[in-house]
């Protein structure tokens, strides 16, 4: 629109300038001189004194007769030279007027067009400005069923009552019971909260109105509240129906956290949502489902009974659930006969459903790179390393002394994991760089644990400091390769002291962590319990004590098994990647005294040797 306006104005200016150049302007004195010189053939004069004439050479001119002069003799002078005279009534100069007003009109039109486009993007014009941006799945209702959602039997049982209520609300009314008004699902990203919402709608065979929390809030005051009202009106018209609000924390965060008063747009939207959930009739058969991975940020008024009656946690899948999820995502892929999904599930603790889908996709890509259509266990192992560690850096060649240092470092991790009674078995040790890691020691749990003892945690500290201990024994000094180990060990020791109450100095105290329970690294908005600087000093001292004792123990154990350390490092230098049996073989010829100070592992770990970044 703007480009078209500029082009029209340019064309008008060019045409006007061409017209003005074709008629030569003359002063009144020059005009009389041309007449007296017998150079004028004809003239046209209007009632305003404007003159348009033609010379004998066919060129044209313009002039203006001064109104203050007595021009009675002009007609006789023109007649004496045989100049043809034409008189006409003056008319409006529409070309000039158009040239003046057209830019203004085009500018006004441009702003009207821009405003209409903005309104259309915000809700379909002026009449639809406050309409909710809801994706309504009604004609083709969701075909997803609970059988299509692998695992999560406990979660399915929780939400199955919603299905029963929507199918037969009269049964609840006859017994004097009320069906759930709202259910909020919380859990880490990628665990399938949206998929479960669609499964509920599919099982109940009712309309499913899906919307995200961010679509309610706009820069215009009142739009969010209007869209909330429109959303619930649409649900009532289609009742029984399900309203699914994804990422509800975008609109349901605690009021007053932004420091702005009650007129702030997001808070007004939340107030309208609270009123709608409190105000609609339960017998209408409208149920609100919501999903978030930040429940700690939600307003308490939103979570009270009568609005969201239930809070269902959708955790990361356990080992059996991971196997079921892998089986679902393996449909359509050609797996080798030797692929064991149960073993893959055991090797992927902490993986969400989305992570498992990505794992199988990466394995298929590795198979394609090898010009195969069948996925092998090697492809799955490489895909797991790709997800955990990053892309294998084949161009990142290490110097011979660096390869030796990485081999010694990883040998220290692996030997301590094999020598500690509570540590998980070693699955693989490699000195091939991947991502930012120069090497890795992978441990797999024999069974999935949910409770960790103090000895288990202490043993985990020892294993994580095993690489640094091996470097101190062989080279007499540490290196930057233990940076990641030190960070993870310090974090674990800090939790043992400040959260788990495992410090004899601080005693049985625990302080609220500042991180979100489902988003690692995200700062929670729940106020953290304050403690004094003296307490912080004691926490620092206890963390340093735990780390120092773990390092001393690791050094002492590896010194007793120095021969096994050298043998395993030599094998790694030759083969670059070995499995857990190579670690046990390096210890087979030795009969060391038993280590009475045993510990364990908080979670199955991948110990990394990082290079200087």
* Residue 220: both structure tokens together: 């215009």
Looking at the DSSP assignment, which residues form a beta bridge with residue 211? 245
Q: Cα–Cα distance between 243 and 249 in angstroms, integer?
A: 16
Q: Cα–Cα distance between 7 and 130 in angstroms, integer?
A: 37
Q: Spell out the residues 6+ positions from residue 147 whose beta carbon is closer than 8 angstroms to its own.
A: none
Peptide bond into 108 cis (omega under 30): no
Looking at the DSSP assignment, which residues form a beta bridge with residue 51? 45, 63
- The secondary structure of residue 274, as a DSSP letter, is H
CB 316 within 8 A of CB 348: no
Q: Is 362 part of the annotated catalytic residue set? A: no
Q: Which helix (H) or strand (E) holds 242?
A: strand 241-246
Can you list the pairs that 257-261 forms with residues at least 24 positions away whose Cβ atoms lie under 8 Å? 257/297, 257/525
Question: Which residue is associated with the tokens 């081999």?
Answer: 407
Q: Cα–Cα distance between 329 and 345 in angstroms, integer?
A: 13
Which position among 410, 427, 442, 471 bears the catalytic label?
Answer: 410
Q: Which helix (H) or strand (E) holds 427?
A: strand 426-430
- The count of C-alpha atoms lying within 13 angstroms of the C-alpha of 123, restricted to the half-sphere facing its C-beta, is 20
Determine whether 174 is exposed, middle or buried from the number of CB atoms within 10 Å of its CB (0-12, 13-18, 19+): exposed
Q: Cα–Cα distance between 600 and 491 in angstroms, integer?
A: 16
CA angle 519, 524, 527 (to 5 degrees): 160
Q: Cα–Cα distance between 435 and 388 in angstroms, integer?
A: 9
Q: Spell out the residues 6+ positions from residue 367 whose beta carbon is closer than 8 angstroms to its own.
A: 373, 374, 375, 376, 379
Helix (H, G, I), strand (E, B) or coil at 322: helix
Q: Spell out the residues 6+ positions from residue 36 whose beta carbon is closer than 8 angstroms to its own.
A: 77, 81
Phi-psi region of 134 (alpha: psi -120 to 50; beta: other; left: phi over 0): beta
Catalytic residue numbers read: 410
């Amino acid at each position: 629109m703007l480009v078209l306006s500029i082009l029209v104005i340019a064309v008008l200016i060019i045409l006007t300038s061409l017209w003005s150049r074709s008629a030569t302007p003359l002063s009144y004195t020059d005009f009389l001189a041309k007449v007296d010189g017998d150079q004028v053939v004809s003239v046209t004069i209007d009632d305003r004194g404007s003159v348009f004439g033609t010379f004998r050479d066919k060129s044209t001119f313009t002039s203006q007769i001064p109104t203050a002069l007595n021009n009675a003799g002009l007609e006789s002078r023109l007649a004496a030279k045989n100049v043809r005279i034409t008189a006409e009534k003056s008319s409006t100069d529409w070309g000039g007027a158009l040239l003046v007003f057209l830019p203004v009109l085009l500018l006004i039109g441009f702003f009207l067009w821009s405003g209409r486009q903005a309104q259309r993007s915000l809700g379909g014009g002026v009449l639809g400005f406050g309409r909710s941006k809801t994706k309504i799945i009604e004609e083709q209702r969701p075909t997803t069923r609970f059988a299509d959602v692998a695992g999560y039997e406990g979660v399915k049982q929780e939400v199955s009552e919603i299905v029963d209520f929507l199918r037969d609300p009269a049964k609840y009314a006859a017994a004097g019971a009320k069906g759930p008004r709202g259910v909020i699902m919380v859990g880490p990203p990628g665990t399938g909260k949206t998929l479960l919402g669609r499964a509920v709608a599919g099982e109940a065979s009712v309309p499913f109105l899906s919307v995200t929390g961010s679509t309610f809030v706009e820069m215009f005051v009142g739009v969010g509240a209007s869209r909330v009202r429109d959303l619930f009106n649409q649900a009532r018209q289609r009742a029984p129906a399900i309203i699914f609000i994804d990422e509800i924390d975008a609109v349901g965060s605690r009021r007053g956290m932004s420091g702005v008063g009650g007129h702030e747009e997001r808070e007004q939207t939340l107030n309208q949502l609270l009123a709608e959930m409190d105000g609609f009739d339960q017998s209408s058969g409208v149920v609100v489902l919501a999903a978030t991975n930040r429940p700690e940020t939600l307003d308490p008024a939103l979570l009270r009974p009568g609005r969201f009656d239930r809070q269902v946690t959708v955790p990361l899948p356990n080992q059996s659930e991971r196997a079921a999820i892998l089986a679902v995502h393996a449909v359509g892929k050609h797996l080798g006969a030797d692929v064991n999904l149960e073993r893959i599930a055991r090797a992927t603790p902490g993986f969400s459903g989305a992570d498992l889908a990505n794992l199988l996709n990466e394995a298929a890509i590795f198979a394609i790179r090898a010009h195969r259509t069948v996925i092998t266990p090697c492809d799955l192992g490489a895909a797991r390393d790709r997800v955990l560690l990053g892309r294998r850096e084949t161009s990142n060649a290490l110097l011979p002394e660096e390869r030796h240092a990485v081999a010694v470092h990883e040998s220290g991790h692996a030997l301590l994991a094999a020598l500690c009674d509570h540590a998980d078995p070693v699955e693989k040790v490699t000195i091939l760089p991947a991502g930012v890691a120069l090497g890795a020691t992978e441990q797999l749990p024999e069974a999935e644990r949910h409770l960790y003892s103090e000895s288990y945690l202490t043993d985990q500290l020892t294993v994580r400091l095993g690489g640094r201990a091996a470097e101190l024994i062989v080279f007499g000094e540490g290196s930057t390769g233990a940076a990641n180990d030190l960070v993870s060990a310090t974090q674990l020791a800090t939790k043992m002291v400040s959260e788990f109450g495992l410090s004899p100095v601080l005693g049985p105290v625990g302080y609220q962590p500042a991180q979100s329970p489902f988003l690692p690294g995200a700062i929670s908005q729940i106020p953290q319990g304050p403690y004094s600087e003296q307490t912080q000093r004691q926490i620092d001292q206890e963390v340093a004590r735990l780390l120092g004792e773990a390092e001393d123990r690791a050094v002492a154990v590896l010194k007793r098994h120095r021969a096994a350390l050298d043998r395993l490092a030599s094998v790694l230098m030759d083969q670059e990647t070995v499995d857990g049996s190579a670690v046990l073989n390096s210890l087979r010829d030795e009969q060391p005294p038993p280590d009475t100070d045993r510990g364990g592992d908080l979670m199955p770990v991948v110990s990394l040797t990082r290079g200087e970044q």
